[in-house]
Amino acid sequence: MKPKLFITRELFPDVIDKLSQYYDVEVWDRYQAPPYEVLLKKAKEVDALGTLLTDKIDCNLLSQAKNLRIVAQYAVGYDNIDVECATKLGIYVTNTPGVLTEATAELTWALLMAAARRIVEADHFVRWGEWHRLKTGWHPHMMLGVELKGKTLGIIGLGRIGSRVAEFGKAFGMRVIYYDAIRKEELEKKLGVEYKDLDTLLQESDFISIHTPLTKETYHLINEERLKKVKPGVIIVNTSRGKVIDTEALVKALREGRVKAAALDVHEQEPLDPNHPITAFINVTLAPHIGSATYETRHKMAELVAENLIAFYEGREPPTLVNKEVLKVRPPGFK
Ligand code: NAP
């Protein structure tokens, strides 16, 4: 009998076909995430789970899932999973690093440029008739933005995505500085970037782009106190996780004009309430968590989920295992 696998959203048919050679696969085919009660019920029935960042995989669920051996996450971030608890229980957790770096870095750059050159505002200006009403096709002061060349880009979290964003910054002729939990001297030399402590990065950056995971340490890393230290007129871009920024503090800094503009792909509550105060700012560009949303990347992510599940099935270490310590608790496989 094949082990049972529950996948919490539709992936790609070719990937499901491949997985079906190893697993008895059930796919949740609705657009909305399965409610927690459904997830809990399924987790108790299966040997493996394929999850998304919208699925809460907490210790309550994991400890009741007696046959569950692996949680294969369809994302690089895994802040929705209690990894520590999974490890204690001998449950493998995998993610999809690397394959989404390019797409997320490109989206970061699209947002950064949209904020710098007021693209969304310009679209509204044309579409909703303001340009037409002004009865002038061109004016020296119309829709002025800021240039990138010669400006300072501050990267918080020089990992895979942060490094790629840094490369784009260099290509635009920017000075790139970074802050990370651990200084990365080799990478610094390779990318031509400078390490700064967080306060200095805040003070010197014209643009700040955030690329840390969401952890206890990075929760509200950008808070009211830190937003008081930014260079006046800074533009902030966040494609990491919404909770890395205290949104209330950001709203205040935008209102006071200390932050010139922001571009946010991720939000403290997703989906974002359209009545949230942040939506009132025309100088804030908003996206619905689409960092990895390209056809190419989403397929590669699904393939990596499958590779992890198949490796585990075959008794091999999954290629992108998050909790390596689990290897000491239980060997991979269903035996
Ligand atoms: P990564 O390679 O692990 O990079 C994260 C970087 O942040 C690492 O350099 C890490 O340092 C650093 N870091 C960790 N804790 C920190 C702290 N307390 N202060 C400062 N820096 C810290 O991950 P990635 O692949 O670039 O992805 C980064 C994050 O982007 C993911 O965790 C995910 O939440 C988010 N993401 C969002 C989307 C989207 O759709 N918007 C798509 C993909 C990813 P160490 O190497 O020393 O740990």
pLDDT of the residue at 185:
98
106 counts as catalytic: no
CATH placement of domain 4-99+295-329 = 3.40.50.720
Task: Report the alpha-carbon distance of residue 76 to residue 246 in Å, rounded.
Answer: 22
Residue nearest to atom 36 of ligand 1 (CA): 240
pLDDT of the residue at 303:
98
Q: Around Cβ 142, how many Cβ atoms within 10 Å?
A: 12
Give the model's confidence band at 210: pLDDT under 50 very low, under 70 low, under 90 confident, else very high: very high
pLDDT of the residue at 222:
98
Q: Is the dihedral of CA 127, 129, 135, 140 positive or negative?
A: negative
In what order do the strands lie in the sheet containing 259-264? 194-195, 175-179, 152-156, 207-210, 234-238, 259-264, 284-286
Residue 282 has pLDDT above 90, yes or no: yes
* pLDDT, tens digit, 9 for 90 and up, residues 33-78: 999 999 999 999 999 999 999 999 999 999 999 999 999 999 999 9
Who's near 126: CB < 8 A, 6+ residues apart?
A: none
pLDDT of the residue at 114:
98
* pLDDT, tens digit, 9 for 90 and up, residues 308-324: 999 999 999 999 999 99
Strands (E), the chain: 4-7, 24-27, 48-51, 70-73, 92-94, 152-156, 175-179, 194-195, 207-210, 234-238, 259-264, 284-286
* pLDDT, tens digit, 9 for 90 and up, residues 111-162: 999 999 999 999 999 999 999 999 999 999 999 999 999 999 999 999 999 9
Place of tokens 């919404």: 242
pLDDT of the residue at 53:
97
Q: Which of 270, 296, 314, 325 is catalytic?
A: 270
CATH placement of domain 101-286 = 3.40.50.720
Task: Report the alpha-carbon distance of residue 326 to residue 31 in Å, rounded.
Answer: 32
Task: Report the alpha-carbon distance of residue 94 to residue 101 in Å, rounded.
Answer: 17
Residue 251 has pLDDT above 90, yes or no: yes
Would you list the DSSP string of 260-275? EEEEES--SSSSPPTT
241 counts as catalytic: yes
Give the CA angle between residues 5, 90, 70 to the nearest 5°.
20
pLDDT of the residue at 335:
86
289 counts as catalytic: yes
Give the model's confidence band at 108: pLDDT under 50 very low, under 70 low, under 90 confident, else very high: very high
pTM (two decimals): 0.97
Phi, psi at residue 21, to the nearest 5°? -70, -20
Where in the chain is CATH 3.40.50.720? 4-99+295-329, 101-286
Residue nearest to atom 48 of ligand 1 (CA): 181
